[in-house]
Amino acid sequence: MAYSKIKEIETCLWGKYNVHINANDDVNIIVGINGSGKTTLLNEINKIALKYVADKNRVVFVPSIDNIAMRDKRKVANALTQDLEFYMFDMKTGPSMMYHRMSMIDASIERQTEMKSDIDNFCVVVNQLFETTGKRIEIEGNKFNVVSREEIIPISALSSGEKQILLILLRVFLLDRDEAYVLLDEPENSLDISWQFELINMLVRLNPNAQYFITTHSPSIFGDGWGDKIIYMEDVTTPVK
C-alpha cells in the first residue's frame, strides 16, 4: 500500500475500551495517566502503520527505554547500548549510519553533497544537545567517534539519557527525510528537561515529512509550541457497551 498520512484511528483496547482519534498530519502527542493504555494504543498504531507501507523501514518504533529488547544476550552491553550500536554500525542489513555513509560511494556527486550536508546537520543537532555535557560526536568516512574533553570514548561510556536521545535522533535521521511514521513511547525517560523541551523541534528538523505519534507523561515534551497537538486518552476513549 502506498504511503499516506494516518487520518483516523479506531481500535479497541483489551476488549473494554473503544478509541477514536482524528490524527494530525505532523505531530500527535498522546497523554494519559498510567494504565490508561497509551503504550497499548501505540502498539495498535504501529500495526496500522505497517499496513500502510510496503517498506517496513518507513515505520520507526522506539519503545520506552525500559522496553528495548536485547539483541544479543551473550554480550555485556545493555539493550539500549546494543540498539544504538546496531543503528550506528550495522553493515549487513541497514539502515545504519555507517551503511548510509558508505552508500555515498556509488552516489552521484550531487547526491554525495546532499548526503554529506545531511550528516553534518545531524551532527550539529546532536552536538547542540551534547554541548551541555561536554561531549560531541564526529562522523567521517566509516568512523563514528564520541569525543569528551578531547578524548575519544566508547558509546558505552555515554549516559543512558545521551544514548537514548542519540538513538531516537539517529533512527529519525536514517529515514533520509522520506515520508514515514515515527512512534515514540515515553521518550522523556532518562532525558534532561531541556532535552525534552527541544525533542520535537529536533525531530521535525531532521525529518519534516514524517508523521509522529508520541506518548508521554511530561509537559516538557509539548512545552515549545506543540500544545495544540495533544491528544488526551480520556477524551478519545469510551467503554465498550
Transcribe 9-58 into DSSP letters: EEEEETTTEEEEEE--SSEEEEE--TTSSHHHHHHHHHHHHHHH-S-GGG
Please give the Cα distance from 2 to 73 (Å, whole number). Answer: 37
**What grid cell was written down for 46?**
504501529
With vertex at residue 134, the alpha carbon angle to CA 132 and CA 135, rounded to the nearest 5 degrees, is 110
**What grid cell was written down for 64?**
520506552
pLDDT, residue 44, reads 97
Whether 31 and 186 have beta carbons less than 8 Å apart is answered as: no
pLDDT, residue 40, reads 97
Please give the Cα distance from 235 to 4 (Å, whole number). Answer: 25
- Domains present along the chain, CATH in parentheses: 8-68+78-239 (3.40.50)
Please give the Cα distance from 94 to 202 (Å, whole number). Answer: 23
Kindly tell me the number of DSSP H helices and DSSP E strands found in the chain.
7, 11
- Decide: helix, strand or coil at residue 23: coil
pTM over 0.75: yes
For residue 233, how many other CB atoms are within 10 A of its CB?
20
All residues at 6 or more sequence positions from 92 whose CB lies less than 8 Å from its CB, including other chains? none
**What grid cell was written down for 229?**
497537538
Rounded to the nearest 10 degrees, what angle do helices 160-173 and 109-130 cross at?
Answer: 160
Return the H-helix or E-strand segment holding 21: strand 17-22
pLDDT, residue 94, reads 76
Whether 198 and 224 have beta carbons less than 8 Å apart is answered as: yes
Q: For the chain, list residues with pLDDT below 70.
A: 1-2
pLDDT, residue 1, reads 60
CA-closest candidate to residue 212, choices 30, 53, 10, 1: 30
pLDDT, residue 118, reads 95
Please give the Cα distance from 202 to 112 (Å, whole number). Answer: 23
pLDDT, residue 59, reads 97
